Chains A and B, each alone.
Chain A
Amino acid sequence: MAGGFFDRSSIVAPPGWSRWLVPPAALAVHLAIGQAYAWSILKQGLIDAEDLSGTATALPFQLAIVMLGLSAAVFGTQVERRGPRWAMFVATICFSSGFLISALGVATGQFWLVVVGYGFVGGIGLGIGYISPVSTLMKWFADRPGMATGIAIMGFGGGALVAQPLSNGLLSAFGRTSGGVASTFLVMGIAYGVFMSLGWLLVRVPADDWRPPNAPAASEEKADTGPAVSATEALKTPQFWLLWVILCFNVTAGIGLLEKAEPLYREYFGQASAGQQLTSAVAAFVAILSLANMLGRFVWSSTSDIVGRKNIYRLYLGVGALLYVVILLLGNSNKVIFLIAALFILSFYGAGFATIPAYLKDLFGTYQVGAIHGRLLTAWSAAGVLGPLIVNSIVEAQGPEGTGPSRYVVSFSIMIALLVIGFIANELVRPVARKHYAGDVERDRAATTEGASR
C-alpha cells in the first residue's frame, strides 16, 4: 500500500546502513530546487518568446519564494510527522509538476499558468523540499549537525550552477520561441523529477537505538535530558524570535549585495574597462559571488561544529559589518580588497542559512526541529522583500546625480546597522528555559502517533 511505502516506519535504516547515503539523498532534492536561483535564464527566454515585460516574468519567481517560506511554515509539522520520504516525494511531485504546468502555459499562450505552475505549485515543492532532509540529517549526524546541514544547504546554493548550463543548453537547442521555451520547461520538469527521485528512494531514518560512531559516552543520558521543544512552544520563546531577527538581517545584508552585484560592479570599476571586457568582468564577479555563497554554506557551517554556533554568528554578523565598513571606506581605490570583502560577505550570507538548523537544534533539540526551521524560514521571505527594497529604493532615489561608489553609501550604512542589530540579538541568545521543554506525556504521545503509523 502506498501509505506504507511513504511511511516513516518503512524507511528505518537496516543494520549496517551507512549514514553517508543520507547527504546525497538530501542533495538530490536541494540541487534540484536550487534551480530557483537561475530563474533569470528562463525569464529571459519568456521575454524573448512571449514579448512579456520584466516585471511580469519576475512574478513566477517572486511567488515561488513567498510560497517557499509559507509552505515551509505551514507544512513543517506535517513533514516532521510523516517523515522525509513523504516530504521528498511531495516536493518532487510539486516541483516537477510546476515545470510541466508552465510548459503547458507557454505552449498555449496562457502566462497565468506559468505563474500558478512554477510560482504556486513549484513554490510549495521548494518549501517542503527545503526542510525535508534537515531533521533527518541532524539525527544521523548528531555529532556534526553543522556539517550535515551545510552539505544539503550548499546544494541549494549550487542548484543554480547546475541549472544555468542546463537551461541555456536547452534554450539553445529548442530555440527561443514559444515552442522552444515550452519544450525547455517540459524537459526540465521530467529531468528534475527523475533526478529528485533518488532522494525519496534513498533516504532513511536512523533506528531509535542508533548512535553516531565516536559519540561521547554520556550521549545516551544527554539525549533524554537535552532540550526538546515543540514547534508551537518554540514560538513562545525569545530565542526563536532572536534567531528570526538574526536570520532576517543576515540575509538582508547579503541580498543587498547580491541583488545589485551587476550594477554595483559597473559603478565601482566601470571606468577602468569598457565594452565586452567589462561585460565579462561583471559576469565573473557575479560568478565568484555565487561560488562564495555556496562554499560558505559548507565551510562555515562545518566550522560551527568546532567553534560553536554563537561564535560563528559573531563572525557572520560582526565581521560582516566590518567588511561593509571596509567597502564603504575604500570605495573603488583597491579592487582586490573590495573583491575579498564582497566574497566574505556573500560566504557569510550563505552560511547564515546553513548554520541556522544546527543553532535551532542546540536550542530546541531535534524533537521538532524541522517544523521549527520551517517557521523560521518566514524570516527569509521577509528578507527577500527587505533587502532589494532598501538597496533599490535608496539607490534609485538618488537619481542621476549620484554616481560611482557614493550611490551605495546610505544603503550600505543601513546594512551595517542591520548586521549590528543582528549581532546584538545573537549576544542575547541564552539556552531555552526548561519550562518550554515538552513533557514526557507529550513526547510519548508523539512517539505513539509515530509508532501507530508504522
Chain B
Amino acid sequence: MSHDASPARTSGGDTPNRTALIVFAWAWVGLPFLYGVYSLVLKVPALF
C-alpha cells in the first residue's frame, strides 16, 4: 500500500502553483456557467 501512502501520488499533495491552476481552471468553466444559471434564475419568479 505504499502507493496510497505516497503524497506525491494522491490528490492531497497540491503545490501552490497547482492551486493557482486549479483556481484558474475552475473559474474558466465556472464563471460562464454561473452567469447562465443566474440568467435562468431571473426568469423563475414569473411562475408564481
Majority SS at the chain A contact face: helix
Interface string of A204-242 (1 = CB under 8 A from B): 000101111101010110000000000000000000000
A59 to chain B, nearest CB (A): 26
The verdict on A283 contacting chain B, using a C-beta distance below 8 Å, is yes
Contact B33 A155 (CB under 8 A): yes
Contact B36 A291 (CB under 8 A): no
A252-277 interface code vs B (CB 8 A; 1 in, 0 out): 00000000000000000000000001
Which residues from A are CB-within-8-Å of B14? 16, 18
Contact B3 A284 (CB under 8 A): no
Query: Chain B residues with Cβ under 8 A from A161's Cβ?
Result: 33, 36-37, 39-40
Fill in one digit per residue for A184-221: 1 if any B CB lies within 8 Å of its CB, else 0.
Answer: 00000000000100100010000101111101010110
Q: With the chains together, A216 CA to B21 CA distance in Å?
A: 29
A interface residues, how many (CB within 8 angstroms) = 45
Checking A25, A28, A207 against B9 with a beta-carbon cut-off of 8 angstroms, the contacting residue is A207
Minimum CB–CB distance from B12 to chain A (whole Å) comes to 5
For window 273-326 of chain A, which residues contact chain B by CB distance below 8 Å? 277, 280-281, 283-285, 287-288, 290-291
Residues B17-46 near A (CB distance < 8 A): 18, 21-22, 25-26, 28-30, 32-33, 35-37, 39-41, 43-46
Interface residues of B: mostly helix, strand, loop or mixed? Answer: helix
Is the C-beta of A9 less than 8 angstroms from some C-beta in chain B? no
Contact call B35/A162, Cβ cutoff below 8 A: yes
Would B26 and A212 count as touching, CB distance under 8 A? no
A25 to B7, CA, bound (A): 23
**Contact B21 A21, beta carbon cutoff 8 Å:** yes
Rounded to whole Å, the gap between the CB of B27 and the closest CB of chain A is: 9
Interchain CB contact under 8 A, B18 and A21: yes
CB-CB contacts below 8 Å: A163-201 with B: 163-165, 195, 198
Q: Would you give the shortest CB distance from A453 to chain B, in whole angstroms?
A: 23
Q: Are A280 and B46 in contact (CB under 8 A)?
A: yes
Bound: A197/B35 CA distance, A = 20
A198 in contact with B25 (CB, 8 Å): yes
Closest to B13 in A: A16
Interface centre among A24, A277, A280 (most CB of B within 10 A): A24
A213 contact set on B, CB distance < 8 A: 4, 10-12
Contacts of A220 in B (CB 8 A): 1, 3
- Whether the pair B10, A21 counts as a contact (CB closer than 8 A) is no
Q: Considering only CB atoms, which chain B residue lies closest to A286 in the complex?
A: B43
A5 contacts the other chain (CB 8 A) = no
Assess whether A283 is in contact with B33, with CB atoms less than 8 Å apart. Answer: no
Chain B residue at smallest Cβ distance from A285: B47
B14 to chain A, nearest CB (A): 5
B3–A165 contact, CB under 8 A?
A: no
Contacts of B41 in A (CB 8 A): 287, 291
B12 with A281: CB separation less than 8 A: no
Shortest distance in angstroms between A363's beta carbon and chain B's nearest beta carbon? 25
Choose from B8, B22, B40, B46 the contact partner of A290 (Cβ within 8 Å).
B40
Residues in B whose Cβ lies below 8 Å from that of A165: 35-36, 39
CB contacts (< 8 Å) of B3 on chain A: these are 209-211, 220
Q: Is A243 an interface residue (CB 8 A)?
A: no
Cβ contacts under 8 Å, B11 to chain A: 18-20, 140, 212-213
Chain B nearest Cβ from A264, distance in angstroms: 14
Decide if A158 is an interface residue (CB 8 Å cutoff).
yes
Q: What is the distance, in angstroms, from A347's C-beta to the closest C-beta of chain B?
A: 15
Q: A17 contacts B26, CB within 8 Å? A: no
Docked-complex contact A212 and B10, CB < 8 angstroms: yes
**B21 CB, nearest partner CB in chain A, Å:** 6
Q: CA A207 – CA B3 in complex, angstroms? A: 11
Nearest-neighbor residue (CB-CB) of B10 within chain A: A213
Contact of B43 among A19, A20, A140, A284 (CB under 8 A): A284
- 13 residue pairs of the A-B complex, CB under 8 angstroms, read A18-B14, A21-B22, A28-B28, A158-B37, A161-B36, A165-B35, A198-B28, A209-B9, A210-B3, A220-B1, A284-B45, A285-B47, A291-B40
Enumerate the 6 nearest inter-chain pairs by beta-carbon distance, A residue then B residue, closest first. A161-B36, A15-B8, A280-B46, A24-B25, A284-B47, A27-B29
> A residues touching B (Cβ–Cβ < 8 Å)?
15-21, 24-25, 27-28, 31, 140, 155, 158, 160-165, 195, 198, 202, 207, 209-213, 215, 217, 219-220, 277, 280-281, 283-285, 287-288, 290-291, 339
